[in-house]
Amino acid sequence: MSNPSNPSTRDRIYAHRQDRIDSFVFDQRVAAVFQDMISRSVPGYASIIGMIGILARKHAVAGSNLYDLGCSLGAATVSMGREVGQRDCRLIAVDNARAMLEKAEEHFARHQLPDVQTICSDIRDVEIVNASVVVLNFTLQFLALEERLSLLKSIRAGLLDDGVLILSEKISGADAEEDALLIELHHAFKRANGYSDLEISQKRASLEEVLLPETIEAHRKRLAEAGFSRVDLWFQCFNFVSFVARP
Ligand code: GEK
C-alpha cells in the first residue's frame, strides 16, 4: 500500500522529533508535498476526487458556476473540468493559502484548464452565485464550529434548484467506542502508507486545534438547518466521509 513517491516531494514534515509542535498551517512547505501528504493520509482520496468529477458531470448545467472551496492544488477542479468538458460552465477555485493557489494555477495550466478563475480569499468572503456544483472537499473542517452554518447558508442561497453541494469531511465517531475504532483504523492506514508512529502522533498534535471533526449526525443537522432538504452519504472509509446535499 505504500506510495514510493519522488523523494523531493515526499511528505517528511513530521519525520523528526520536534521540541514544540506548532499548529498546522498551509504554507509553502506543505504545498510542496501536499499531493503525497493527502494521498497517504486520506483513505479513498483518489476515488473521492474521481467521483466529484462524475457528480459534476451529472449536475453541471450550461451557464452556471462550479466552485471548489478550499481547492488546495485544485484536484477537484481538474476532475470537474475533465468531466464537464465542453459544457459552458465556469470553474472557480478558491483558497486562502497563496502557496497552494500558485501550485493550483500550474496544475490547471498543465491540464489545459486556462479558464479556471482562481481566487485567493477566505471562503467565507466569496459570494456564491448561480452555482450548479459547490465542492467543500475537506475544507469545512478547518472553520471554527460557529462559522460553519453561515457558510452553508450562503452556499445554499447561491445554489440553483437542481444544484448540489459535495461536502467531504473527517468525522468523529457517534460514540467513544466507534471513534476509537475509526481512529485506530485510520492510523493503521497511515502506517501501511509509510508514516511512522512519530509522524502520526506529531501530525495529530499539530492538527488538534485546527481540524475540528464532528459526527455525521451533527453535519446532517447543520445541513438541514442551512436549508438543504436532502442529504445523502455517498462515501465513507473509516473516519472520512462525503455527502451530497441538495436544496
Ligand atoms: C482537495 N479540497 O485536494 N478559506 C479558504 N481556504 C481555506 C480556509 C478558508 N477559511 N480554511 C482552510 N482552507 C482539497 C483539499 S485541504 C484538506 C483541501 C486537508 C484551505 C487550506 O488552505 C487548504 O488548502 C484546504 O482548505 C484544506 O480536494 O489538508 O486536510
Q: Decide: 81 and 115 in contact? Cβ < 8 Å.
A: no
Q: How many independent structural domains does the chain possess?
A: 1
- CB atoms under 10 Å from CB of 21, counted, come to 16
Pocket test for ligand 1, best of 142, 154, 171, 207 (most atoms within 8 A of CB): 142
Q: How far is CA 40 from CA 53, 91, 135, 196, 217, in A?
A: 21, 27, 21, 12, 27
Residues in the chain: 247
**pLDDT tens, residue by residue, 41-69:** 999 999 999 999 999 999 999 999 999 99
Residue 41 beta carbon below 6 angstroms from any ligand 1 atom: no
CATH number at residue 113: 3.40.50.150
Cβ-based neighbours of 247, under 8 Å, separated by 6 or more: 156, 159, 161, 163, 227, 228, 229
Residue 30 lies in a domain: no
Q: Decide: 10 and 201 in contact? Cβ < 8 Å.
A: no
| Residue identifier of the C-alpha nearest atom 17 of ligand 1 | 138
Pocket test for ligand 1, best of 40, 94, 95 (most atoms within 8 A of CB): 95
Task: Give 14-43 as a DSSP string.
Answer: TSS--SS-PPP---HHHHHHHHHHHHHHST
What pLDDT is attached to residue 93? Answer: 98
What pLDDT is attached to residue 208? Answer: 83
Residue 132 lies in a domain: yes
Residue 198 lies in a domain: no
pLDDT along the chain (247 residues), means of 10: 57 79 80 90 97 97 97 97 90 96 94 92 98 98 97 98 98 97 96 85 81 97 98 98 98
According to DSSP, residue 128 is labeled: P
**pLDDT tens, residue by residue, 167-205:** 999 999 999 999 999 999 999 999 999 987 777 877 887
Residue 139 lies in a domain: yes
Residue 159 lies in a domain: yes
Q: φ, ψ for residue 122 (rounded to 5)?
A: -70, 135
Q: If you search the block for the grid coordinates 434548484, which residue do you land on?
A: 161
Provide the residue range defining the domain that includes 67: 45-172+211-246
Residue 203 lies in a domain: no
Strand order in the sheet with 65-69: 117-120, 90-95, 65-69, 131-137, 159-170, 240-246, 230-237
Residue 201 lies in a domain: no
Task: State the Cα–Cα distance between residues 247 and 228, nearest whole angstrom.
Answer: 4
